Structure 1
């Protein structure tokens, strides 16, 4: 079973281990921004992959997102593909907020 955890960008810093309350992100009573869920996967270097991360794969950069239509984590910029392929051979190089 994969671990379910979240992080959130508060406008200045990425907050780890965010607790969700009513769909909003909170940590230590500080309201954070949009929560990003851990995908349950790690890149080729062992870095955890979250929604909104940027993965460098095959000389391209792809944004990780949750596809409502396909009910899975995938990447923007190509055909709908399972994230597992990009995770195994790619590496996290940042996220959309800190890039």
Structure 2
């Protein structure tokens, strides 16, 4: 399980780097990478506390994992609407560029 989790984490690192440059170009890469990583970093830091805080009112960890699975499925369903307005694989130009 640890090897699978490490593989997924490594792939997500590569995917994040590719997604930023594919969608918005290399200009301001550091700033955009930080903005994209902020929600994930925050969720990772708060997850242990939030898991315990939600497990109690939900009646245990079983219902909590069902809730997490439902939220993950909702996130998957939203993905098609995250494509930039110019279409997949096209870079959106910054104001003033030609």
Give the TM-score range, shorter chain: under 0.3
The structure having more radius of gyration, on CA atoms, is 2
TM-score (normalizing by structure 2): 0.28
Structure with greater proportional strand content: 1
Q: Which has the higher contact order (CA 8 A, sep 6+)?
A: 2
TM-score (normalizing by structure 1): 0.28
